[in-house]
């Protein structure tokens, strides 16, 4: 009966209830997005770096981690030296470059990766088979689509193209043997993988050169100490461990996470204040009703519970709507941020972790309960006779 | 309503007030609203409290109904001293021991007539089936059998007051208190209400009614006159 009283009370003030619920939903969505954003980038980076299962990344000193223009020579010897380190289990050399194919009159340019198919960690095969011969290649879906080709086709491809002279350099016949998902690339980017030697051979000045070497360590090896050892031994290269990269990212994202935390707290406060306002207003206009309930013998805590139910109902419905709204806005914002040039497609700014999401929304509902507590207790504790008298006068 | 009919033994006191005082602390001089009232009411009595405005009728009624606490003195209702109850005990006592009828009906506006009547029973944890049966019985008793699903705004003042009476009777209280129950009603509806109270009393209810309405006071078998917070006349008092 008291529950009915609470619910019918909310329904009686439909517009106000709807507006407050909408407000709580927005606050909840914001809260959720901020929680998702706070952990999303970091976790995304981690998943991203760890999925390669290589703990160290060696690149020419003084270059950006994803830069493929810079290369180092003497690659075979370099790889052999790194392999000789007792803590190193495997080394995957990679050479970045371009691949050009024609489609009718137009030229399609893709990002090309020369890899060792047995060791590579740059793509995951989703169709066909992996590279097994020097003239074989794996493309991603975007590249197949842009070039109008399918797995199984043989194409003529070049490593260089001069648009003024319309001249190709390093042209080869290649067989597309598979389709892959390239983990480091953003969604729309065109990509192709070739055997390392083929990629080196197609480019005039890239013989025995690589852009990056991924290093897998034996179990128990300390990534940081191996990294500094390798940097000492190979002065042309810098080696960065996944852990160090994560620390670096963490440091950079620290401000970002702080901002997310502050905005999340603000959302929580806004939700709390909204519910408090509504409950206070609704309690104040029902002071008389509450005094009557008390006069006919309704226990104080039941009156308080009735008011609390209102706050809980508001924040529960608001939080549920906010969950949906938050997920939609997160996806939308993710779409905007993912278009940021140079970021891999697999990169998510907003990570939905059910436990964190429900914890934060639970916190919001808890705020809804607390919001009602004071106004409810105050109203239920007013002297009954005096309140009835004042209400009769009013 | 045979179940509320008590045995008519005039010596069986439902209410006994002894030297009850109620001061309101107001800035400067405190207001002595009730200044030393002693009153005995036997089971089955129908008492009207009358007197000029401001003489302390409502204050006294609130004290008798345990929604206010006397500054001094004792009030015993159905053998229980209610002047020293804790808040929770007083609340429980109001729920089961007292039925209150207000001048302005004070129904819960969002609940139907039936739900308003059920409210005190639900609070007293009366099982649903019993609650519903009694609600039907009570609404029939006050002549609103067909209106149980109506909400207060769909009812006239007189009908709302009947619902309020049904609500007051819900938990079979020892004492029914009413503060100017005809105050908001026109003469005709007021007359119906007076009949209703007479019938209630005839069916065994012990009634204390505060009123300015001479007709209502006349219907009571005992009229207690107050002035300046004291009893000045107590006509028709049951023989001790
Ligand atoms: N809460 C209060 N604070 C201060 N004074 C009060 C309060 N309640 C009542 N009084 C005073 O106590 C006196 C008695 O009031 P009460 O309401 O009991 O009179 P009443 O006989 O019911 O009058 P009426 O017939 O007009 O309803 C009045 O002087 C009134 O002003
Ligand atoms: Mg009065």
pLDDT of amino acid B237: 65
Q: Which candidate from A294, A383, A385 shows the least CB-CB separation from B91?
A: A294
The C-alpha atoms of residue B100 and residue B178 are separated, in whole angstroms, by 6
pLDDT of residue A62 exceeding 90: no
Residue of B nearest to A300 (CA): B88
pLDDT of amino acid B1: 42
pLDDT of amino acid A3: 82
pLDDT of residue B5 exceeding 60: no
pLDDT of amino acid A129: 93
pLDDT of amino acid A77: 92
pLDDT of residue B9 exceeding 60: no
**Domains delineated in chain B:** 12-236 (3.40.50.300)
| pLDDT greater at residue A241 or residue B49 | B49
Mean pLDDT, chain B, rounded, equals 91
CB contact under 8 A, B110 and A11: yes
Residues of B in contact with A8 (CB under 8 A): 110-111
Tell me the average pLDDT across A274-300.
Answer: 91
User: Of the given ranges (A130-134, A187-191, A233-237), which has the lowest mean pLDDT?
Assistant: A187-191
Q: How far is B4 from chain A (nearest CA, A)?
A: 19
Those residues whose C-beta lies under 8 Å from the C-beta of residue B32, and which sit 6 or more positions away, are B21, B22, B23, B229
pLDDT of amino acid B10: 47
Tell me the average pLDDT across A191-214.
Answer: 90
Closest C-alpha to ligand 1, atom 24 = B53
Q: What is the pLDDT of residues A80-95, one digit of tens each?
A: 999 999 999 999 999 9
pLDDT of residue B130 exceeding 70: yes
- DSSP state letter for A348: -
Residues of A with CB under 8 A from a CB of B: 1-2, 4-5, 8-9, 11-12, 288-289, 292-300, 302, 383-385, 388-389, 392
pLDDT of amino acid B11: 58
pLDDT of residue A342 exceeding 70: no
| pLDDT greater at residue B74 or residue A347 | B74
pLDDT band at A344 (very low <50, low <70, confident <90, very high): low
Percent residues over pLDDT 70 in chain B: 93
Ligand 1 contacts (CB < 6 A) are A 386, 389; B 24, 26, 31, 33, 53-59
pLDDT of amino acid B210: 96
pLDDT band at A105 (very low <50, low <70, confident <90, very high): confident
The C-alpha atoms of residue A194 and residue A264 are separated, in whole angstroms, by 46
Residues of B in contact with A299 (CB under 8 A): 88, 91-92, 123
The C-alpha atoms of residue B17 and residue B148 are separated, in whole angstroms, by 38
Largest CA distance in chain A: 99
Tell me the average pLDDT across B46-55.
Answer: 95
Residue A165 Cα distances to A97, A110, B38, angstroms: 20, 20, 119
B94 contacts B215 by C-beta, under 8 angstroms: no
pLDDT of residue B6 exceeding 60: no
Cα of B151 to ligand 2 centre, how many Å?
A: 27
A7 contacts A317 by C-beta, under 8 angstroms: no
Q: What is the pTM of this model?
A: 0.73
The C-alpha atoms of residue A230 and residue A216 are separated, in whole angstroms, by 13
Q: What is the pLDDT of residues B145-198, one digit of tens each?
A: 999 999 999 999 999 999 999 999 999 999 999 999 999 999 999 999 999 999
Closest ligand 1 atom number to CA of residue B180? 27
Count of CA atoms in the C-beta half-sphere (13 A) of A187? 11
pLDDT of residue B3 exceeding 50: no
CB contact under 8 A, A296 and B122: no
Q: What is the pLDDT of residues A221-266, one digit of tens each?
A: 888 899 999 999 888 898 888 888 888 878 877 887 888 889 989 9
* Strand locations in chain B (E): 13-24, 31-42, 46-50, 72-77, 80-81, 98-101, 175-179, 207-210, 222-227, 230-235
> Nearest CA to A385 among B61, B122, B113, B172?
B61
For A265, phi and psi rounded to 5 degrees?
A: -65, -40
Q: How far is B239 from chain A (nearest CA, A)?
A: 32
Which chain residues have CB less than 5 Å from ligand 2, an ion?
Answer: B 58
pLDDT band at A392 (very low <50, low <70, confident <90, very high): low
Closest ligand 1 atom number to CA of residue B226? 21
pLDDT of residue A293 exceeding 50: yes
Cα of A5 to ligand 2 centre, how many Å?
A: 29
The C-alpha atoms of residue A175 and residue A134 are separated, in whole angstroms, by 10
Q: For chain A, which residues make up each domain, given as ranges?
A: 2-49+252-393, 56-220
Q: In the numeric block, which tokens belong to residue B25? A: 């602390």
Q: How far is B207 from chain A (nearest CA, A)?
A: 16
pLDDT of residue B103 exceeding 80: yes
pLDDT band at A345 (very low <50, low <70, confident <90, very high): low
């Amino acid at each position: 009966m008291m529950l009915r009283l609470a619910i019918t009370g909310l329904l009686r003030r439909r517009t106000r209830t709807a507006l407050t619920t909408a407000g709580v939903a927005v606050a909840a969505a914001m809260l959720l997005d901020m929680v998702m954003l706070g952990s999303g980038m970091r976790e995304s980076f981690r998943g991203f770096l760890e999925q390669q299962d290589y703990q160290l990344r060696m690149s020419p000193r003084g270059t950006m981690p994803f830069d493929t223009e810079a290369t180092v020579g003497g690659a075979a010897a370099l790889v052999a030296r790194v392999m000789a380190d007792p803590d190193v289990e495997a080394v995957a050399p990679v050479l970045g470059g371009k691949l050009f194919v024609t489609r009718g009159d137009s030229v399609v340019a893709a990002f090309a990766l020369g890899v060792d198919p047995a060791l590579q960690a740059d793509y995951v095969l989703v169709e066909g088979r992996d590279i097994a011969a020097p003239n074989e290649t794996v493309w991603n879906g975007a590249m197949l689509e842009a070039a109008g080709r399918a797995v199984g086709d043989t194409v003529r491809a070049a490593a260089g193209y001069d648009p003024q002279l319309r001249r190709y350099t390093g042209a080869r016949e290649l067989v597309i043997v598979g389709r892959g998902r390239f983990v480091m690339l953003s969604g729309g980017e065109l990509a192709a993988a070739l055997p390392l030697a083929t990629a080196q051979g197609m480019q005039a000045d890239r013989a025995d050169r690589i852009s990056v070497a991924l290093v897998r360590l034996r179990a128990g090896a300390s990534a940081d100490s191996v990294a500094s050892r390798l940097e000492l031994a190979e002065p042309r290269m810098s080696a960065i461990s996944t852990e160090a990269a994560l620390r670096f990212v963490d440091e950079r994202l620290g401000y970002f996470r702080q901002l997310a935390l502050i905005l999340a707290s603000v959302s929580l406060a806004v939700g709390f204040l909204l519910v408090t306002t509504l409950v206070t207003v609704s309690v104040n206009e029902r002071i008389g009703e509450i005094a009557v309930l008390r006069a006919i013998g309704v226990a104080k805590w039941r009156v308080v519970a009735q008011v609390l139910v209102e706050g809980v109902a508001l924040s529960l419905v608001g939080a549920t709507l906010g969950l949906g709204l938050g997920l939609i806005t997160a996806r939308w914002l993710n779409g905007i941020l993912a278009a940021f040039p140079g970021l891999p497609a697999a990169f998510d700014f907003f990570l939905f972790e059910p436990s964190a999401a429900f914890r934060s929304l639970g916190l919001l509902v808890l705020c809804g309960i607390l919001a009602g507590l004071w106004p409810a207790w105050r109203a239920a504790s007013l002297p009954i006779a005096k309140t009835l008298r004042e209400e009769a006068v009013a | 309503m045979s179940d509320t009919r008590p045995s008519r033994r005039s010596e069986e006191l439902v209410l006994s007030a002894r030297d009850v005082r109620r001061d309101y602390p107001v800035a400067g001089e405190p207001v002595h609203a009730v200044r030393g009232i002693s009153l005995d009411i036997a089971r089955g009595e129908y008492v009207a409290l009358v007197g000029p405005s401001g003489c302390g009728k409502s204050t006294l009624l609130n004290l008798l109904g345990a929604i206010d606490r006397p500054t001094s003195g004792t009030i015993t209702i159905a053998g229980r001293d209610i002047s020293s109850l804790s808040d929770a005990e007083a609340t429980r006592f109001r729920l089961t021991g007292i039925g209150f009828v207000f001048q302005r009906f004070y129904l819960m506006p969002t609940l139907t007539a039936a739900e308003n009547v059920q409210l005190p029973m639900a609070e007293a944890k009366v099982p649903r089936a019993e609650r519903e049966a009694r609600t039907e019985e009570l609404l029939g008793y006050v002549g609103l059998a067909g209106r149980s699903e109506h909400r207060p705004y769909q009812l006239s003042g007189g009908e709302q007051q009947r619902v309020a009476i049904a609500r007051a009777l819900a938990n079979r209280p020892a004492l029914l208190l009413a503060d100017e129950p005809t105050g908001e009603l026109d003469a005709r509806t007021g007359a119906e209400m007076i009949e209703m109270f007479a019938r209630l009393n005839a069916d065994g209810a012990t009634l204390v009614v505060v009123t300015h309405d001479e007709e209502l006071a006349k219907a009571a078998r005992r009229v207690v006159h107050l002035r300046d917070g004291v009893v000045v006349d107590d006509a028709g008092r049951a023989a001790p």
